[in-house]
Structure 1
Amino acid sequence: MDVAPQEPILEIKKKIQHFLNVPINSQTLTVFDWELIDGLDLSDYPLISDATIIHLSTKSTQTPPPKTKITVKFSARKIEIDVDKTTDTLRSLKEKIHIVDGTSIKRMALFFNGSEMEDDFRSLGEYGIEEGSEIMVFMKMAMSRATDHPPMRRVGLVVQTSMSLMNESRIPMEMNDTSRVDELRQLLVERGTVPADEYIFIHKQRIMREDCSLRWHGVENADFTYVFKGNVSRGF
């Protein structure tokens, strides 16, 4: 079978389905005992070259394992995914998110209970994930070839609202690090997350200036920003 060096693994599985009538979700492709992952390209596996043999195995029919439904939250949307917390790993969860939502596996950073999930081969159960757990997805910045004057970057932050506003909740958001705090406030109002009013934003126990950017305040990926009703002059 002829394939391009940059061809996605998923496209290769589609060709196999066309030629051999094997469903994509039943295929497992391996090279030198390495499984080829749907969200990656052929070029991500440097050992593959012309005339390389790729092994195909199919999943046997068996009683499906019990599923656990979790919520995956992005900055402006969320999806629900069924997982097996005993056998699914962080890597397989990323694959499922890619298949359902199309999000790039290479750019995903997943957070649970405020901490990044980094061990691809650790089971979801080992992370403490249960029925109804919420996973937050932040997008890593794509690599840039520019060496000087780098472009603004996207940061994923968690906005924690208080009971004095509407309902206490955590809202994952993505913004440019050059965005000002007043732009963050306006975005929350436009989305209906908070009513139109005056607010104080706090990052790392410091009151944020509305006319200054997230970068100026040192906001990084997965940082928490707390919102309280009021202003600096009259307190909250």
Structure 2
Amino acid sequence: MRVVVVTRTLEFVMEVGLQEPVLEIKMKIEQFLGVPVASQTLSVSGWELMDGLDMEDYPIVTEGTKIDLTFKSMIILPPLNHCSKIQILVKFSSRQFNIEVDTTETVRSLKEKIHIIDGTPIKRMSLFYCGIELQEDYRNLTEYGIHEFSEIIVFVKAINRLRDEPPSKRLSLVVQTSSSLLNAASIPVELKDSCTVNDLRQLLLSKKILPIDDYLFIHKQRIMRDNCSLRWHGVENGDPLYVFKGTISRNGY
């Protein structure tokens, strides 16, 4: 049967079996959204679904039932040696390098270090982590969740777009469906990295590879934005993209 999993900002359809344990459902959610099982709480009408039980133990869950998904905040303790130095990867569209920073540093100081190493003017930098722009220069890196080996994407604001914008490159990708959609099919596609997620969606719909419906695309456990390019999302040649039915609710934004 199909149920609708609802978070504060997202709804998506999931296929579950009557004898499927609650724990296995949480594992599926972890695979799609990247949220650890231990951080998840599933409930229906205020009743929590316990890990040790199956769906058939909850007669209230039927076809089309909405299951609420909430996240417990997890406290991460600092290491015993209190070392605050971390290595992060700074990625431009055509180059990348490792840099050591202190977790107490601000976004502004990170931009200054990138400027010293690479020479890119600070005023032309836009930094992104996991699809989120680091807009506030005064905030510490840890406030954005940046940790050891995090990847920071740098976009350079173009003065002359034709001169500064890197040429588009063609990507060979695999779109992976869920078990409830086309029986977990792997769909090879080719398109330019300048194409948006919406372009990808329209390609799959126009070729009738996917049936007409609402879909979400996921890259490296992050929900992709329709109007942003594959390059903006950091998609590389050969990367898998996951697709499943659902829409993003804008109420939480």
Q: Same fold (TM over 0.5)?
A: no
Higher RCO structure (Cα 8 Å, ≥6 apart): 2
The bucket for the TM-score relative to the shorter chain is 0.3 to 0.5
Higher strand share: 2
